[in-house]
Structure 1
Amino acid sequence: MNASQICTTLSTLKSLRSPHEQVWRDCYDHSYPIRGSGFCSEQITAIEAQMRKARMLDGTTTDAARILSSSIMSGLTPANSLWFGMDVGQETEDERRWLDDSADILWQNIHASNFDAAAFEGMLDEVCAGWFALYIDSDKERGGFTFDLWPIASVYCSASKAGGKIDTVYREYQLTAQQAVNEFGEANVSENTRKLAQDKPQEMVRFIHAIYPRSTYMVGARLAKNMPIASCKVEVEAKRMVSESGYHEMPVVVPRWMMIPNSVYAVGPVFDALPDARTLNDLCRMDLAAGDLAIAGMWIAEDDGVLNPRTVKVGPRKIIVANSVDSMKPLQSGSNFQYAETKIQRLQASIRKILMADQLQAQDGPAMTATEVHVRVNLIRQLLGPVYGRLQTEYLQPLIERCFGIAYRAGILGQAPESLAGRNFTVRYLSPLARAQKLEEVNAIDQFVAGALGIVSATQDPSILDNIDLDEAQRFKGEALGVPNSIIRSKADRDKIRADRAQAQQDAQEQAQQQMMMQQAGEAAMRQQPGAAA
């Protein structure tokens, strides 16, 4: 596409997104106003964000959204434990070792970058608006990865296949004239931008970054213009292409929470809590007004020619001149604080329930029993299971594929075994949420084996255990519980240990038999000697 086509496409994408923007704006205004920068104005300043925050009279929605975001992130991509592995199916020991080492190197480099900060803010956008856009690239200066969370107000998306993942992303952004010249070069920017860079270097210039799949490309291309994913940057005012490049993998991941029908966009759980959040805010406003009346009081006064109610000010150490003590009396406000307090608590509980804050947050009280822990983990798995499935497909898998491609091409993963050439890998998830989904199977295995052992104990017949592959059961439990691969022996090492043990037992038996035969031979020789009977 040329520059004019990219500008036209952006206008179309803007018109398709505009019907949903008011909903996202409301969700941000009742949770994280500063994250909604660009939906209500070009750029929210800190003062404006503070004013919007001040209009929120209750922080329940903000607190619950933060708890949900933190819980999902710690369950999906914890920084303190490896949360993914890679499989190719029927791999050898050398292939398994290289895949495990590569996964560990990727995990270390991902969390050594700015991933944790960008991912948490992205998860806040996911909970509030239902989607976010995370740009992944290599750090050209220091090496490793860099993650750039794009403000969703400036991102416009599309999918080349109906119902498919987002693979077309347009971003509208601004650079100073000086930054534009430094990034793209004087020869590539327009004449107007070159003049601004000399006269007004801090003047802002608008650009479009268009990322979309190419219809024709070269497999294994080295030139960026021949890669599967196109990357074009256009100066908007001049409609001038300032940069054309490409990527081997889609560099932007756009995970979504709950899809809007007939749209590529989504809404988040704050959308479900929005009616309660609005009502709670209005109720808190009325409660504060009633509290003002309850504290300061409300009075009724009679204009009797002596007392002028329009000029009377009630306060300490003030003398009010009146014709009679009945000329001025306190007036009951009629406020029902008990109803307001009860209603506020109900709304707060409803918001926390919708955003799963109470279910995900550790409860105050005595330590939970093992059964209570299992029930709680099962509840979390049920609540986040459907969301986790979509996040696996649209967030974790493309993120790992992109990071693997960058790292492999940079040579930091080492040389892969030749037997892996042409074989696609699949991502194996080891995060706490992934393990929680497998806990049911782990418990089923434990109950099944325990039942079989109970039968053996009762009948003294071990043949019932022939129905169970105990080796495979233990290996599955180790993987499901997230046991490091270095702890679990390979099948070859296990078989060698068993063979050595069997050989040692056989040698011991043969040695015992030889000793017994020698002893018997000695005893027979002594019996044959003269006088042995005496």
Structure 2
Amino acid sequence: MTDPTHPDPGAGPEADGAGVAVLLRRYRRARARRQRWEGAWRDCYDFALPSRESALGGATPGGARGDRLFDGTAPDAVDQLAASMLAQLTPPWSRWFDLSAGPDLSPEERDRMAPTLDRASEVLRAHFAASNFAVEIHQCYLDLVTLGTACLAFEEAPPGEPGAFRFAAVPMGDVALDEGPTGRLDTVFRTIRLPVSAVRARWPAAILPPDLETRAAREPDLEVAVLECVVPDARGYGYTALLAGTGEAATALGEGTAPVGGDPLVLATGHFAVSPFICFRWLKAPGEAYGRSPVMKALPDIKTANKVVELVLKNASIAVTGIWQADDDGVLNPATVRLVPGTIIPKAVGSAGLTPLRAAGDFDVSQLVLDGLRQRIRAALLADKLGQPDSPAMTATEVVHRAADMARVLGASYGRLQSELLAPLVRRGLAILRRRGEVPPIRLDGRLVDLTHASPLAQQQRMSDAQTTLTWINAVRGLGEGGARVIDDEGAARWLARTLGVPEAAVRPEGAAGPPGPAAPMPGRPPAPSVPAPGSGAPDWASLARALGGVLSGPPAGGGGTRHDP
């Protein structure tokens, strides 16, 4: 089986009753472990991302949200961090990965494989761009920043669609996850509710119970609960789809009670070479399957800031409308007093009448406390690291230091995302395109074919490495002819091409002859100006280093390129 929309009946080992019972026991254990996290997840959603509260169930989609939220610092920082991750890791319609020859290949084999890998990379990127990947991965980044764990369903699109891929951000309330034997979060149980017509379309070979068919004929909108199980095994990932029943049958299934109609019906079984569910975490504690998020770390400050703003607003309402006191002099009746312009308020002789009560509290102190809380929240959610710099015109050195600081702070989290998100995305995409015959049988094993990360964050680190190397080359050339002999110009140029992500088609293969010399001038025409052939003489490494500094610093706020003195 290659896709759940085209099942291979009986291909999986879980088709018998004993296998289904084992799956249900594992699902109930995974669901019980997930329930321990739901309280913390609800707090994170309530105070940092109230628009996603329905993802855990219990909330009506489209209903009023954020009734407990008074401070918008955390939701704004969550949006900024998710948008920055989208731009830094998987920028839409941009080259954020490359397929390259692995270290086990010789230089001649690398040169032969380069065009094939470049072509496969282009096809894979084109299908990502033609799909709904950018929309769904952003929703996953929001879940990742808020809850610490996210799940992305990666399926093959039906024939006739613009692209071969179809993505869906899976709400965390719909999945129960567990770690497999390798420590990856690849054991997935997803509960979905679908109309009977959608079940027939998704699993056309499934035989539905006659009573369900009869009821569906009377109720066209009848929905049923389906439990999808993806479990790693020796051959890859076993897949089983179970029909739990109607209504709340999936909940009853997880609690161990019998579903409607007895045992669940097996809709489809099969096998995946690469899991269709990509689950990834921000960071994890030892012994825990689910991840922990930056919102969880900042939650005490978020709750405190929310309470401070609530109290400040109450104090402000008192300051605006006022609290009044009056002597019980037998003349003034507070029930009949209206505080409108032109009102005459009677009072007894010698009575103070209606006087305002001074409100307690100091707005200045509240603002000082609130400023510190908001600063800590933004720091915990990395808004100060990934946001736009205060000074738009930064030098190349400043950009290098900023990139180094970003890599230091985000190295652990982004390293985990490269392993749990980016590499599985490319592997799953290659598996789908191999089945469709659009790419050759390429397998991402890290030895023959390797994945090169070309996202902006990875490019910043590689440009920093290139800047260091060019600084060394310039320093060595300053030592005279003896130092210059140490440098291999062609090897340095090829290393820079690999480091900066230059396509293999733009680099001449090793050992290939250079371009032909200039042709003889036509009679009656002046000779063309002399242009030194590439590779002749020493390259101007100093100019290249200055140009690379311009790439690092980027264009200034005015929109023009960075100017460098000759």
Q: Tell me, yes or no, whether TM beats 0.5.
A: yes
Instruction: Spell out the pairing of 1:80-95 with structure 2 (5 A cutoff).
Output: 80-86=93-99, 87-89=101-103, 90=105, 91-95=109-113
CA distance in 1, matches of 2:332, 2:158: 80
- Note if 1:6 corresponds to 2:16: no
Q: 1:180: how far off? A: 2.7
- Which residue of the partner structure matches residue 251 of structure 2? none
Equivalent residues of 2:97, 2:453 under 8 A apart: yes
TM score, norm. by length of structure 1: 0.84
**Mean Cα deviation higher: 311-320 or 228-237:** 311-320
Which amino acid is 2:403 matched to? V
In structure 1, the residue matched to 2:129 is: 111
Distance 1:26 1:379, change over 3 A: same
Cα deviation 1:256-310 (Å, max 9, x = unaligned): 1111331210111111111111011101100100000111112111111111335
The amino acid of 1:88's aligned partner reads G
**Structure 1 residue corresponding to 2:279, chosen from 248, 254, 262:** 254
| CA contact 1:129–1:268 (8 Å) conserved in 2 | yes
Distance 1:366 1:405, change over 3 A: closer
The residue matched to 1:161 in structure 2 has which SS?
coil
- Structure 1 Cα separation of the partners of residues 54 and 511 of structure 2: 57
Select the residue among 285, 289, 297 that pairs with 1:264: 289
TM-score calculated relative to the size of structure 2: 0.79
In structure 1, the residue matched to 2:36 is 19
Bigger helix fraction: 1
1:28 match: 45
**SS of residue in 2 equivalent to 1:368:** coil
Q: Which residues of 2 match residues 267-306 of structure 1 at below 5 A?
A: 267-306=292-331
Measure, in 2, the Cα distance between the counterparts of 1:388 and 1:234.
36
Structure 1 equivalent of residue 243 of structure 2 = 235
Q: Which has the larger radius of gyration?
A: 1
Alpha-carbon shift at residue 19 of structure 1 (Å): 1.1
Mapped contact 2:115–2:504 kept (Cα < 8 A): no
Q: For 2:287, what is the secondary structure of its paired residue?
A: coil
Identify the match of residue 44 of structure 1 among 60, 63, 72. Answer: 60
User: How many aligned positions are there?
Assistant: 477
Answer whether contact 1:38 1:44 (CA < 8 A) is retained.
no
Pick aligned residue for 1:129 from 133, 147, 166: 147
- State the match for 2:542 in structure 1: none
The percentage of aligned residue pairs carrying the same residue is 29
Hey, what does 1:467 align to over in structure 2? 486
> Offset at 1:186?
8.8
Answer yes or no: is the 8 Å Cα contact 1:186–1:194 preserved in 2: no
Change (3 A) 1:416 1:22: closer
SS in 2 for 1:254: strand
Aligned mates of 2:172, 2:392 — CA distance in 1 = 43
Secondary structure in 2 matching 1:171 = strand
Structure 1 residue 72 corresponds to structure 2 residue 91: no
After the TM superposition, which of the residue ranges 128-137 and 186-195 deviates more from structure 2?
186-195
Moved more, 467-476 or 200-209: 467-476
Match of 2:556 in 1: none
Q: CA deviation at 1:38?
A: 4.1
Amino acid at match of 1:378: A
After the TM superposition, which residues 431-510 of structure 1 pair with which residues of structure 2 at under 5 Å, given as runs? 431-456=455-480, 462-493=481-512, 496-497=513-514
- TM superposition shift of 1:243: 1.4
Instruction: Give the whole-Å Cα distance in 2 for the aligned partners of 1:444 and 1:187.
Output: 61
Where in structure 1 are there 5+ consecutive unaligned residues? 218-227, 457-461, 505-534
Are 1:390 and 2:392 counterparts?
Answer: no
Question: What's the offset of the Cα at 1:128?
Answer: 0.6
Following the alignment from structure 1 to structure 2, what is the Cα–Cα distance between the partners of residues 303 and 21? 54
Alpha-carbon RMSD across the aligned residues, in angstroms, is 2.6
1:146-157 to 2 correspondences below 5 Å:
146-157=166-177
Contact persistence 2:430–2:442 (CA under 8 A): no
The amino acid that maps onto 1:16 is: R
1:79 aligned counterpart, secondary structure? coil
Deviation at residue 398 of structure 1 after TM alignment: 0.9
Shift of the 359–421 alpha-carbon distance from structure 1 to 2, 3 Å rule, reads closer
Distance 1:298 1:416 in 2: 76
- AA aligned to 1:444 is T
**What amino acid is aligned across from residue 234 of structure 1 in structure 2?**
L
